[in-house]
Amino acid sequence: MAAGSAWELGRLDAIGQADLVRRGEVSALELVDAAIERIEALNPRLNAVVTPLFDRARTQAAGLATSPETPFPGVPFLLKDLGAGLAGTRQTQGSVALRDQVSTSEPQLVRRYLRSGLVILGKANTPEFGNHSTTEPVLFGPTRNPWALDRTAGGSSGGSAAAVAAGMVPAAHASDGAGSIRIPASCAGLVGLKPTRGRSTWAPAGDAMSGLAVAHALTRSVRDTAALLDVIAGPAPGDPYTAPAPNRPFLDEVGVDPGRLRIAWTARPPIDVPVDPACAAAARSTSELLVELGHDVEEAAPAFDGELLIEPLVRVWAVSNQDDERQAARLLGRPVRPEELEITTWELIDYGRRFDAVDLLDALADLAGAARAIAPFFERYDAWVTPTLARPPERLGVLNQSQGGAVAYWRFDCAFNPWNPIANVTGQPAVSLPLSWTADGLPVGSLIFGRYGDEATLLRLAGQLEGARPWADRWPPISVAQGPVAASPVASPRPPAAEA
């Protein structure tokens, strides 16, 4: 490739890069080599990729057999270092306890990614067991936001977010149990869709966090989000539940007129926490843009007890951490040592030990009751707009600190992230879009909830907003738009290990 081509390729979204391969203008191996060049230049400043798999990626790209129907031939991609094992490679779940663990197989999700032609270049940083709204694990150190190096890229899919925002790769795997796709989307200026519960499969596992968690990706364009959803959508035999089947491919919805929708909006959070004026202004601005686009918009919010997002939810999360500790002990062949897990993880585990199975059922019943209280609101409205977060990207070193106990930490975290968990409780789809920035240049997302099972309308609306207020040409200071960047002293003191 000519000088600079790796950086020019990095400005294209995943569909754009795939089209070059189909037309024979670039080979899959050239796409991968270009992405490796970008990662090697940009990652030392951001600490997004913690386990590079470059040799494996080159081998995969060189042997890639594609057809005209292959959606992403040779397109570089990252897997979050949590919930996306790749046989023969390290998966730590962001934990010191699992720093040397190697996956022996792949879940159905990863197999679908591989069948689509995506080439896996590495694993992206994540907080331990996905527990924080920031990505600052003890094991690997903090992922830095390419918009401002002293700010979080969000969590728990923060490594994926920083890599995509900087243009290392056009898209990356992410997952979401209480906002972990949408939080980093807001912090890093990306598109982050949490799909409907059951839209894709966790096979061979049966479930994730009692139905709270779903998997998808972080992207720079709405069309990439839709196309990647087509790749992973669909059940596997034995799934405990599935989402309603779409009428047609999700990619076909992007660019379709959504019609005149009835949309509610609010900047008032469901719990009593302050909202930064920039975040409130972002939601208000999005609602005003929707009016300009011909929709019927009014200020409203579902009526339910927001406190149900605190203790019942943290009880479920705590039990999930108990299971994480149990699985870690099984993999290690011994009990997990105190120094091998972070203090906030131990606080969750200790909290979970207070409860029995009936207590967990009670928590799930409380969350189901909240979902039923919220559901009638979406019989009146096609969509609901809120800020994605109550504050712009927080400074590093804030959101990963113990608050003295699991419930206290969860309440502290929800003061930053009050709206996103609602969609995990109800199972609805919700998307964060990068429609606003603060006066000092930090991205601020707007969150749009859709009806259960109706990603189609949500993608039509997202595509309409992208067309009306495009963000494709907005790049952070640390990105492909600035050209090659040398390694910097702000890199993590624990650099990525060699290929595992």
User: How far, in Å, CA of 223 to CA of 226, rounded?
Assistant: 5
Q: What is the per-residue DSSP string for 131-195? A: -SSS---TTT-PPEETTEEEEE--SSSHHHHHHHHHTSSSEEEEEESSSTTHHHHHHHT-EEEEP
CB atoms within 10 A of CB 13: 22
End-to-end Cα separation, the chain, in angstroms: 28
User: How far, in Å, CA of 281 to CA of 128, rounded?
Assistant: 33
User: How far, in Å, CA of 211 to CA of 226, rounded?
Assistant: 22
- The first and second tokens of residue 495, run together, are 């650099």
Of 218, 246, 224, residue with least CA distance to 233: 246
Q: How far from the centroid of its chain's Cα atoms is residue 456's Cα?
A: 19
Residue 274 CB burial class (10 angstroms; 0-12, 13-18, ≥19): exposed
CB contact set of 239 (below 8 Å; sequence gap of 6+): 198, 201, 202, 203, 206
**Cα torsion 415, 417, 420, 425: sign:** negative
Catalytic amino acids?
A: 80, 156, 180
Of 411, 352, 410, 381, residue with least CA distance to 265: 381
Strands 191-194 and 171-176: unpaired
